[in-house]
Amino acid sequence: MIKNVTVLGLGPMGRAMARTFLRDGYRVTVWNRTASKADALVAEGAHRPATVREAVAASELVVLSLTDYDAMYTLLEPATDTLPGRVLVNLSSDTPEQARAAAKWAAGHGAAHLTGGVQASPPQIGQPGAYTFYSGPREVFDAHREALSVLTETDYRGEDPGLAAAYYQLTMDLFWTTTLGWLHSLALANAHGISADDFLPHAASLLGGLPEFLTFYSPRIDAGEYAGDAERLTMAAASVDHVVRTAEDAGVDTTLPEALRAAVRRGIAAGHGENSATSLVEVFRKP
């Protein structure tokens, strides 16, 4: 059986996906706004039609790897006559609301839509261990699971097209806040003559301890319990204040720790001072 797939969008991620399908024996059709990004893939055996219409028409399975969902509309609005019977697997980042709207839009044009949220970097595509959240119609996912498994392992979250995008954005929320926190700590480290490399084992040790912390607190948070038996928000307030002042003294930007301090202060004003700092989830729920 000939295995066909079209990949629309050839940034680092789309190129890694197209290449992985090629290596798995797929007949791969590619299209990108900047056509030259397909040159290497064409040399490796991919087909590059002149128009996006031809690219969509070439395969039932159409994988999108674009900056956002607006780029999908830009690409596909002029090609909607090719959509009936297609399965759009949208692996572009965007909001759950955008994913739900896209599923309706696709259905209105006779196509199925699967939302995906890739938990991997381009070099990890096709390697064991990487996975992607999916959501959308179960039967469509099941019919194409094998093809999608060529890229990464699959983690089907449910029928709601917004679910995979929601899980993806949760991980991005955590990723960006953690990464920016790390970069801020490095600026502070540098101001004290400490290099990123000097700090590395300590940063890694702290982050490596987080799963234990999360495992202890997750069931409590789900139960609405914020007992201050292990730590209290008033302690967190003093600690975050020390971070802000250390940054001020070092002449380092204080925007990030000040945002944390503002949240902690709101928590104390809301009466959570004697609770665990995890009670801040209540503050975040009600801006």
Helix (H) or strand (E) holding 4: strand 4-8
- Cβ nearer to ligand NDP, comparing 73 with 217: 73
Reduced to 3 states, what is the DSSP secondary structure of residue 8?
strand
- Segment near ligand NDP (CB under 6 A); pick from 12-20, 39-47, 204-212, 249-257: 12-20
11 interacts with ligand NDP by CB under 6 A:
yes
> x/- string (CB under 6 A) for ligand NDP, residues 16-55?
----------------xxx--x------------------
Alpha-carbon torsion angle 6, 11, 17, 19, nearest 10 = 90
* Biggest CA pair distance of the chain: 67
Tokens 């995979």 sit at which residue?
164
Give the C-alpha separation, 9 to 64, whole Å: 6
Q: What DSSP string describes 146-163?
A: HHHTTTSEEEEEES-HHH
- The number of residues making up the chain comes to 287
d(CA 78, CA 86) in angstroms, rounded, equals 15
Among 13, 79, 148, 236, binds ligand NDP (CB under 6 A): 13
Scanning 64-72, 155-163, 190-198, 215-223 for contacts with ligand NDP by CB under 6 A, the matching segment is 64-72
CA–CA separation, 20 and 128 (whole Å): 13
- The reply on whether position 122 binds ligand NDP by CB under 6 A is yes
Residue 164 vs 268, nearer CB to ligand NDP: 164
Letters for 82-111 (x = contact with ligand NDP by CB under 6 A, - = none) are ---------xxx------------------
- What pairs with residue 64 in β-bridges? 8, 90
Instruction: Report how many residues bind ligand NDP under the rule CB under 6 A.
Output: 22
Tokens of 207: 């982050």
Does 116 bind ligand NDP (CB under 6 A)? Our answer is no
Which range, of 59-67, 99-107, 229-237, 276-284, touches ligand NDP by CB under 6 A? 59-67
Q: Does 165 bind ligand NDP (CB under 6 A)?
A: no
> 230 near 278, Cβ under 8 Å?
no
Block residue for tokens 């700090």: 199
Does 63 bind ligand NDP (CB under 6 A)? Our answer is no
Q: Candidates 66, 188, 243, 268: give the one binding ligand NDP (CB under 6 A).
A: 66
**Binding stretches for ligand NDP (CB under 6 A):** 9-14, 32-34, 37, 65-67, 71, 74-75, 91-93, 118, 121-122
